[in-house]
Amino acid sequence: MDRLDNTVRPYAWGSTTAIPHLLGIEPTGEPQAEMWMGAHPGAPSRTARGTLVEIIDADPERELGAPTLTKFGPRLPFLLKILAAGAPLSLQVHPDLAQARKGYEDEERRGVPLDAPHRNYKDANHKPELICALTEFDGLCGFRAPAHAADLLEGLGVDSLEPYVDILRAQPEEAALREVLTAILTADRDEMAHTVAAAAAACDRLLGAYTPYAGIAHHYPGDPGVIAAMLLNHVRLQPGEALFLGAGIPHAYLDGLGVEIMANSDNVLRCGLTSKHVDVPELLRVVRFEPADPGVLRPEAAPDGEEVYDTPIDEFRLSRHVLPPDAPAHDLTLPTPQILLCTAGTVRADDHTLTPGTSVFVPAGHKAEVTGPGTVFRATVVA
């Protein structure tokens, strides 16, 4: 079992206080957005034996176990993060596996550098993800029913939004959402900036259901993504609740602290709320224009006390254990690789004492016993 030393990413949207507060350290005044735990080559976790990438490369079968190695190859299939949003993230979607492979191969063939700002596909993998709230957590997830989106836009009283309202009311649902999102993202930037400014002023005046969009407009004045965001469901998670984001589902995280797990990929196609590249044709090819309830997940209790967040993919499996004081050691041994992350209290994992924000990597089949009092999240795979 290896204690992990993890990189914190200072993205501009990150909270300046949430991760330091979790870790019990003084804030630096700089944003601290994500703490990565895993073997992603962009920021692999470090251990006394080397980086997690180096450890797995040296002996994949020992670290991952034969079932994981056979199913996913010689790599850790998931990336675990603590995510701390102090401002809205970009409005984005992720490709499915076939789209990612095709897009990656195409950009490789065309010689687009991996670090090029207009590169869409950093790797050939998909990126389904799950976010579990540690605090109240606000986000956008999936399309609203077009009729509800039309009501929201119409309520702003902005004349230049009326054509979108008419389309949302008149067209079949999928066609309406596609046509309106396309129109928003391809509109004249100056004209759209005036529309966004008028919509933002109305949001500030009306508040209520418009409050999240007033906040978004404050951070991204004039960005067409402010209007696109109103096509999506607003969700507020309570601690312990989660959202699963599958391929093609537009989403954005707005505010809060959570545990995030995803397939080990960095493929993002952006719709707005960003100064980065937006590839509208590729985005429209990937987005699923299907209105749906965001589907808030609550953990399902297993007989051994494990609380599992059920998702339809195999690259990751997230669960948590709330360990009471003075309880006997809890055996977490699995034939698959694990990362154990403490988020509350003090957890003893073999010879390691874990406090909030600290984590260990457990090789496949390695005996893992934990005691509390505290809360530990377990990330592993389905192999």
According to DSSP, the β-strands at 129-133 and 137-143 are unpaired
In three-state secondary structure terms, 334 is coil
Please spell the DSSP secondary structure of 197-255, one letter per residue. HHHHHHHHHH-GGGHHHHHHHHHSTT-THHHHHTTEEEEEEPTT-EEEE-TT--EEEEE
Task: Tell me the torsion sign for CA atoms 238, 239, 240, 246.
Answer: positive
Identify whether 270 is a catalytic site residue.
yes
In three-state secondary structure terms, 119 is coil
Out of 46, 75, 144, 270, the active site residue is: 270
Q: Which residues contact 43 (CB under 8 A, 6 or more apart)?
A: 7, 9, 36
Supply φ then ψ for residue 239, to 5 degrees: -50, 130
Q: Which amino acid is at 85?
A: A
Other beta carbons within 10 Å of 131: 28
Of the candidates 346, 383, 350, the one whose C-alpha atom is nearest the C-alpha of residue 364 is 383
Tell me which residue has tokens 């530990």: 376
Asked whether the bond before 117 is cis by omega within 30 degrees of 0, the reply is no
The Cα 129–Cα 92 span in angstroms is 12
The Cα 356–Cα 55 span in angstroms is 25
Catalytic residue list: 270
